[in-house]
Structure 1
């Protein structure tokens, strides 16, 4: 069976790749959650950076520059442990996204509701309609290929993330500078800075901050399209990590200074913040900024739609999924997998609608399940980095974690220990879930086990005819 000719590759420059990675990770929607803990946001962000960002970014930088092939985590784990483990890892990275993006899509719905009819923010039917409409729209846009993907994600992250972020932080500081009262101290005491892990529910808030940074390795799926991946990938990861850490802390503090925590909405909190900053005199600006925020969140969706699915597509071409899921269009986009992905997001949107306890409880349940599933993938990634130092020590790596094998053991080993800690606390219900915790815990445990077993079952029962072999025509005599 002859395979279709591959389209000409589109090269990603360093600035473009930084914008794509920013679209994957950076969002103003995180500020209300950051604001919930006030000055403690510094400690929570620091813990998230230590527990997750440092090991994940450094390990993925070495792996991506050593194996800069299309496929990302699938290729890395496959090189270390074989096809089955590689398939499980990429499946988890991909599948968790179909769950986790319900939170981002509900943020889009909540912001839109705040602009037109705030009562709709508590309507699950309205939120479900937005979830389905935005994801399917982003899917259709991504079918146009990598060039279109890069253009739109760059535009959307500038308009919808960086501009509103600058306006909110700058406007909030001017609001305070002009003499308006602040709701938490401008200068913190030592007590204000220290997190109060008084019970397991408060400890779970750490998961929120870790989740903000999760996905630093996702853009590695596009490393093969970079002009100079060995040099540019580590630079891009460093730049985005620094920007994200700084803006998260400052943005969260600004919201905490100007919006009462008791009135702060997790979904529409950003719009509440802009309403305070602009006041009645400039109230017409709030809807404009709201539209930009929606644009930014949609850009984040667009960036993820064509992220992990590209790695899964490489696994499919290796014969780990039926032939129907190996189909690509003329732009090299895996069409069947993209539509399967959209169907799964629609399914999880429906689950969100039927979960008991209101919008907040449903958000937290799906959010936590996303984290626990994703953490399992990181176990594979860290273990692969260690093993490849032994099995393929001479493979060129433009970026290499210093300290030789010991350095890798310390960094990736710390990543494994931290991931295990995060995994355990992700199984506990947060304080925002007020109902009986048992259904939440059962949902988390059973959901994580089922998601992990699915790729193992697919691999075990795969068919030999799933592997499509290209037929090279013989030269004509």
Structure 2
């Protein structure tokens, strides 16, 4: 398992064919169109970002050592970890699609401290994994040239730090460039991820698949047992369990890009679809790539650093082009861009968003013009740089990196345990909350899926405390190994506790313009996640609210219900119901029924209220009269019989608008009500305005106006 983790973060920036690390880093307020996203991100782009995080041909090298057996492990891992994780993430995203991803889901189900801890764990995980892996990348620099034999020799042997240090500094510069590019916003790095994974992973996979057929047809020897019996795993003690766990958690990170869920146009529909497409493509990359490598490279010659290049070279030789490895090495840089940018942006993006809700000091809360927390991202890159130099100058690099990797693996799997627990709790604490997608099977199905995921995660956590045989020389006894692991875990846990407690004391850390909606249980007046029977979609509850950390603007009852018609039968009904509920809670945002998108997303068409303009007074020819000043209105004479004039003015105003006898009756009722003192005062004011308008009109015509004060009709005559 350690070797797999080590290989993943090394391969991200060396040959660039990797899909990312196990550290699947993990996305003005929520007012307005609460259920719809910005549309910056397409479903295809999200799929490619997911695949970038999860899969890559370099990740297949480790499992190719086990030949056809690894296919079985991939399938088992897909069923026991990947599928539960994808199903649960899809339901959580479709029910609680506001910004936050894992922070939102765990916070809704368990509470605030576990939620912010998840984000901090992911941030530390990415920082340590990528930082400790940077020094190793200098070993593969030779594969960017045509000197293959020299490149192999350079990768195998130790070299003077005077040679490798400048190379490492070059890779650090590359990392800093990727970090800078990630700060340019989701539209920029989603395009990089989309094209990077296509050119850096899918194109090489398609080519080597074709060349593998050519290789077999030419009669070249197949280096692994391809008999069906080879699919059955053979028990080899704890190493077998380590392999199983390593394969299981090759799939970790499917939830990472939930950070960008609000960048989808229709998140409740697009996110689940993207999850399942990503799962299929990831399995394809893992299985096909692993089998091809095992077929071409003899088991004893498999090396984590350069076996993928050897595969490219061997297959390229079948068509007389052994330097094919060089083409894919440089193409892989595009995938390296994708992997680095996605992982560098994800954790900081989500932590930065949550941090502005009061969980980070003000100094780390900036958002640049692209909506990215650039200061936090550069801070992460600076810490990674420090770690890279520490690792580079340590005498026992392998042991140090392995211990960090195992500690972070434990934290990362604990993160998934929290996600599964939150999912189960939400089935009971918010049972009626609409979800665009539900894990099938009701509560029984939810328990089976989440239970399998929890058991798989706990299995990996327990296994991580077992010191691998190949590291005994580096870490000493098993007790020493576990003590160091526990110390590293304690550091991260204490950091989470300290940051959370500090945020509780510093209420001024809250940015009133942050983009995080409050948790639904906060809006419903609960002090912590508790039973709430409301069936109002979370997007609707969040609409019109002030951001997280601010007082609740529009409280909802925890058991408040709403009638949401089936959009298939009544496509306008959801928008109308949403608008009525918003109006009930004092949120003046009428709905546009034709824009309603889907079940659980009734506010997709909610827009800002456009108030009717003030009436314009005109003369008999329809020309607008000048608007009198307040002084003119106050100086206007009042008719002798103000009550009669008020009656007439109010009745005529209503009669002009009336289209039926009912409206005329209502106008007459208003006439009678004018006797009330309050109505009289309003009528007097209206007459003053009319007199002032008349005076302005007369001035414009060059005449004077006087008031006769006629008791009969209150009209004015020219003198």
Q: Same fold (TM over 0.5)?
A: yes
User: Which of these residues, 492, 510, 535, is aligned with residue 451 of structure 1?
Assistant: 492
Q: Partners of 1:107 and 1:10 in 2: how far apart?
A: 39
Which residue in the other structure is 1:277 paired with? 315
Q: Deviations over 1:280-313 (max 9, x none)?
A: 9312322111111232123111111111222211
Q: CA deviation at 1:187?
A: 2.1
Distance apart, 1:354 and its partner CA: 4.4
Q: Distance in 1 between matches of 2:46 and 2:250?
A: 19
1:475 match: none
8 Å Cα contact 1:10-1:146 kept in structure 2:
no
Say yes or no: does 1:79 pair with 2:79: no
Query: Structure 1's 101 and 22: CA in aligned 2 closer, same or farther, altered over 3 A?
Result: same
Q: Counterparts of 1:197 and 1:128 in 2: how far apart (Å)?
A: 40
Aligned length: 465
Which position in structure 2 is the counterpart of 1:40? Answer: 69
Change in Cα spacing, 1:10 to 1:21, as seen in structure 2 (3 Å) is same
User: Residue 47 of structure 2: which of 18, 42, 66 is its match?
Assistant: 18
Instruction: Tell me which residue corresponds to 2:509.
Output: 466
* CA spacing shift, 1:434–1:262, aligned 2, 3 Å: farther
Deviation at 1:130, TM superposition (A): 5.4
1:270-419 alignment runs, 5 A limit: 270-279=308-317, 281-357=320-396, 364-419=402-457
Following the alignment from structure 1 to structure 2, what is the Cα–Cα distance between the partners of residues 347 and 207? Answer: 30
Per-residue Cα deviation, 1:100-142 (whole angstroms, up to 9, x for no partner): 3358757864543333444443557457435523321211001
1:21 and 1:219 in contact (8 A); partners too: yes
For residues 234-253 of structure 1, the aligned pairs below 5 Å read 234-253=272-291
State the alpha-carbon separation in 2 of the partners of residues 79 and 18 from structure 1.
26
Q: 1:10 Cα shift? A: 4.8
Is residue 260 of structure 1 aligned with residue 260 of structure 2?
no
- Cα root mean square deviation, aligned: 2.7
Identify which range, 312-321 or 115-124, moves more after superposition. 115-124
TM-score normalised by structure 2 residue count: 0.61
Query: 5 Å matches for 1:43-54?
Result: 43-54=72-83
1:20-76 deviation digits (Å, cap 9, x = unpaired): 212222211112112111111012212321331011111111111111122110111
Distance 1:302 1:95, change over 3 A: same
Partners of 1:173 and 1:254 within 8 A in 2: no
C-alpha distance in 1 between matches for 2:273 and 2:321:
40
Distance 1:382 1:52 in 2: 11
Q: Is the 8 A contact 2:200 2:333 kept in 1?
A: yes
- 2:196 aligned with 1:153: no
Q: Is the 8 A contact 2:132 2:388 kept in 1?
A: no
Q: In structure 1, how many angstroms separate the alpha carbons of the residues matched to 2:133 and 2:211?
A: 24
* Structure 1 equivalent of residue 642 of structure 2: none
Shift of 1:275: 1.4
Q: Is the 8 A contact 1:275 1:286 kept in 2?
A: yes
CA–CA separation in structure 1 for the residues paired with 2:245 and 2:427: 30
Unaligned segments of structure 2, at least 5 residues: 1-27, 30-36, 146-150, 515-545, 547-719
Summarize the Cα distance change of 1:352–1:249 in structure 2 as closer, same or farther, 3 Å threshold.
farther
Other structure's SS at 1:184 match: coil
CA separation of 1:400 and 1:27: change in aligned 2, threshold 3 A = same
Distance 2:60 2:135 in 1: 15
- Report the CA distance shift for 1:107/1:212 in structure 2 as closer, same or farther (over 3 A): farther
Residue 362 of structure 1 deviates from its aligned partner by 5.5
Question: Considering only CA atoms, is the larger Rg found in Structure 1 or Structure 2?
Answer: 2
2:225 maps to which residue?
185
The residue aligned with 2:265 is 227
Q: 2:205 aligns with which of 165, 175, 194?
A: 165
Which structure features the higher share of helix residues?
Answer: 1
